[in-house]
Structure 1
């Protein structure tokens, strides 16, 4: 009889423990949904409130080895139907190590766009949206891109303020004004929203687009650091909800939460970056589509593949 009572008590403890775990999971899920909806309600109407309704279907393959490549597209659209991509990056995230890498592809890189011949790579966005950029990267660099995310200028300003409410500190080397709608004075300072956008868009200096890409990578790293230091894991659902209307993406909420959690866990890890084309691997040429960067395709393809850790045994 005593053994039976012990067995009954043990079953009750196990049952109560399972009920407690279930209750905690339900509370966590309810909290995440509540915070996500709260963030969504606080956001203004963005350009991409309805994800995956703007562009043709994206046919990226499923990620392998716990690693994913996300195509990041900065659109310079001002309302026109077919705009070129102002910024092209591939964000590489490893779910096992929580490492993130950023590969920037110069928008004037001269490549073969499927169905359109040799063009600047940013023209692929105007011809066929994120899917055609994916096909172009696959054809020229033999790199698979699994997901995409598109953000326009207004969206970048809003997201910067959401991710870094205390601003981003930069050191401006010289006066910046032409083509950005404002004037940024030289010196160390903290930039917010529209001024931060102006900083990453400016390209009228001796480095032209190359300097702009450096600033874009700098700001990406600092925004990532700000996000994981200010918004801890509990705030990630609200952050994603607030950001949602400003991004068109096919990355589902579960994957975004996983990435956010991983970045918090690996917040001290430095974010690696690369620029394509590599220094010394291209020539400036004038062709029928304008001034382009004619690249050593073999060298840049190999470097991009190595950087994104695509050569698995």
Structure 2
């Protein structure tokens, strides 16, 4: 779950990851992990939960499927990421699953696995596998990889010609769920494109120094958080960053 901030005043783009295990009050249910609100009733309840617990009045959303995620990455010519050598094996094992979603008709012999660590360009199904791993570290590290993917995709998009950009937009419009009208989405995209903000600032929420991962009985692992401090820092990052 990522909040996208497009700051027209400062010509700045920012990304805020919200930890899926953040312990929150879900309207109509109980105090549980944040991602349960999406599982229960989808985006409307997730937005209501975010608004109630974090004081951020969000009313727009976009959800992207695995398939469209991979198609977008391939359309812009792949993305450049830095792969830690310790993650190669888990990425390659996940690629077997993401490749089957990518194209069920191709044989396993066509799969391109990751051979080395370091900075490299990866394709759609490799990028999806890269975005999903967390068992070699933790969910916060995975959030960071997902932001890395978005930042790289944005940088790659800035290099593309108009036909490629139009096709990427077409893929997004036909393969996502959103309550944003197509024209408004295009207008937002043009605004973000024109900013050309290659140094997108990022935040992991709740803040590392003011959160604690604990086992909460039958709730399992959850993230307890200092509400006053975290709410203040989140609002500052989104609304009053500079």
Same fold (TM over 0.5): yes
Report whether the alignment pairs 1:294 with 2:231.
Answer: no
Q: Equivalent residue for 1:180?
A: 94
Number of residue equivalences? 220
Q: Partners in 2 of 1:131 and 1:282 — Cα distance?
A: 26
Q: Equivalent residue for 1:17?
A: none
Residue 269 of structure 1 deviates from its aligned partner by 4.8
Residue segments in structure 1 that go unaligned for 5+ positions in a row: 1-87
Change in CA separation of 1:231 and 1:243 when aligned onto 2, cut-off 3 Å: farther
Change in CA separation of 1:106 and 1:132 when aligned onto 2, cut-off 3 Å: same
Aligned pair partner of 2:135 in 195, 204, 208: 204
Mapping of 1:25-64 within 5 angstroms?
none
Decide which structure has greater helix share: 2
Q: Equivalent residue for 1:262?
A: 191
Change in CA separation of 1:256 and 1:128 when aligned onto 2, cut-off 3 Å: same
Change in CA separation of 1:310 and 1:136 when aligned onto 2, cut-off 3 Å: farther
Q: Partners in 1 of 2:189 and 2:145 — Cα distance?
A: 23
Q: Partners in 2 of 1:296 and 1:268 — Cα distance?
A: 31
Change in CA separation of 1:174 and 1:292 when aligned onto 2, cut-off 3 Å: same
Q: Equivalent residue for 2:52?
A: 139
Corresponding residue SS for 1:146: coil
Q: Equivalent residue for 2:24?
A: 111
TM-score (norm 1): 0.65
Q: Equivalent residue for 2:79?
A: 168
Residue 245 of structure 1 deviates from its aligned partner by 2.3
Residue segments in structure 2 that go unaligned for 5+ positions in a row: 97-112
Q: CA RMSD in A?
A: 2.0
Change in CA separation of 1:239 and 1:181 when aligned onto 2, cut-off 3 Å: closer
Q: Equivalent residue for 1:272?
A: 201
Corresponding residue SS for 2:85: coil
Max radius of gyration: which structure?
1
Q: Partners in 1 of 2:173 and 2:225 — Cα distance?
A: 36
Q: Equivalent residue for 2:126?
A: 195
Q: Equivalent residue for 1:218?
A: 148
Ranked by relative contact order (alpha carbons within 8 Å, sequence separation 6 or more), the top structure is 2
Q: Partners in 2 of 1:105 and 1:221 — Cα distance?
A: 17
